[in-house]
């Protein structure tokens, strides 16, 4: 199946073009846009990890290494589309227009972090695996029935393909030709479980065959390849062509979360150099003579200042209220939840 679903690439690890048919579409403007957004979210990601290690942020799910997948896909969307992220897709949501302060608040346990911007249709991050996929399909179907051109994208990891919600969402999307993109970031592991122990399929993309929809496999560290694959899928969805499954093959450098030790189950010595999504597009720009170090340094400074300002604003909020764990799930609190709340505060001595 890897021959039926080959991994599409536009630029190689060294930044040189490997698909000459796309050469004229690789403009300086697009390259800088992708590079800028990838730098922004990497800076955010590294800052969030530092904050967690300092006790200033809660448990955090890093995404460094997956920037091309998240930025390339999100930049292909329009403002009225829908994004259904996992707990690891804040790079995509920030690119799509999510509020950075609220994103930090989410990781600090504040309820405000789950309140999406009024300017963007962004579902709160899904922590249960694959539950957001039927939600995305439903939103896309609703937009279809309303007669709009808006589409939805569901982000999910390779582990989600082992869940029933993935297959139910795929089937529903296929039957109703919902304008939805099912965007898989295959980083090879579902926490500590390698993909070879999750499925006997050679690729995730081939799972599209069973549901009668296109399946596309791309190099998830090639921002150009992701962007144009996503543009094609979005165009197909808007024109009534139905759903697409995209498998972006990538690699996350760090841990599953800041509570994880990946060295116990995988090789942490994999190269971070030429395969790195930011390094790759920077090499492309240098080879084409469109890279400007002064512009890049100004961009980095701007992102650092933006993130420091967002952190300062996040830290002006009070600590999360433990009552929020109990008070906002049910209209009428069940007796067992009331007892859990009482027990919690008793144990705290309140």
Q: Which residues are catalytic?
A: 252, 256, 265
Residue 285 in tokens: 């720009």
User: What are the contacts of 52-57 at 24+ separation with CB within 8 A?
Assistant: 52/107, 52/258, 53/258, 56/108, 56/311, 56/315, 57/104, 57/107, 57/108
What are the residues facing 244 on neighbouring strands? 181
Using left for φ > 0, alpha for ψ between -120 and 50, and beta otherwise, residue 15 falls in: left
User: Are 270 and 251 within 8 A, CB to CB?
Assistant: yes
What are the residues facing 218 on neighbouring strands? 8, 248
Residue 116 CB neighbours (<10 A): 17
- Rounded alpha-carbon distances, angstroms, from residue 170 to 7, 77, 103, 223: 21, 20, 29, 25
> In the 8-state DSSP scheme, what is residue 122?
E
| β pairing state of 189-190 and 215-219 | unpaired
Residue 170 in tokens: 């795929």
Nearest to 38 by CA among 271, 251, 222, 187: 222
């Amino acid at each position: 199946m890897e021959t039926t679903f080959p991994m599409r690439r536009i630029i190689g690890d060294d930044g040189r073009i490997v698909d000459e048919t796309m050469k004229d579409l690789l403009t300086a403007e697009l390259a800088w846009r992708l590079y800028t957004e990838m730098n922004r979210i990497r800076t955010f990601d590294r800052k969030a990890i530092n904050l967690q290690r300092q006790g200033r942020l809660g448990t955090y799910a890093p995404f460094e290494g997956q920037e091309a997948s998240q930025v390339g896909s999100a930049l292909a969307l329009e403002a009225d589309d829908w994004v259904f992220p996992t707990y690891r897709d804040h790079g995509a949501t920030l690119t799509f227009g999510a509020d950075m302060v609220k994103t930090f608040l989410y990781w600090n346990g504040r309820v405000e972090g789950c309140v999406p911007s009024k300017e963007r249709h962004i579902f709160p991050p899904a922590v249960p695996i694959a539950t957001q996929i039927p939600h995305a399909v439903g939103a896309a179907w609703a937009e279809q029935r309303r007669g709009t051109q808006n589409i939805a994208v569901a982000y999910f990891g390779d582990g989600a393909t082992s869940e029933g919600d993935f297959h139910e969402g795929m089937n529903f999307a296929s039957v109703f030709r919902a304008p939805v993109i099912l965007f898989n970031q295959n980083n090879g592991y579902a926490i500590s479980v390698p993909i070879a122990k999750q499925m006997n399929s050679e690729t995730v993309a081939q799972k599209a065959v069973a549901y009668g929809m296109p399946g596309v496999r791309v190099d998830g560290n090639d921002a150009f390849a992701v962007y144009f694959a996503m543009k094609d899928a979005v165009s197909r969805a808007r024109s009534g062509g139905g759903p697409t499954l995209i498998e972006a093959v990538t690699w996350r450098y760090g841990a599953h979360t800041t509570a994880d030790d990946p060295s116990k189950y995988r090789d942490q010595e994999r190269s971070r150099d030429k395969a790195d999504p930011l390094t790759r597009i920077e090499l492309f720009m240098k080879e084409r003579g469109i890279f400007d170090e002064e512009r890049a340094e100004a961009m980095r400074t701007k992102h650092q200042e933006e993130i420091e300002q967002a952190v300062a604003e996040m830290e002006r909020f009070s600590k999360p209220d433990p009552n929020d764990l109990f008070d906002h799930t049910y209209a009428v609190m069940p007796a067992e939840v009331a007892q859990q709340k009482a027990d919690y505060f008793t144990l705290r001595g309140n």
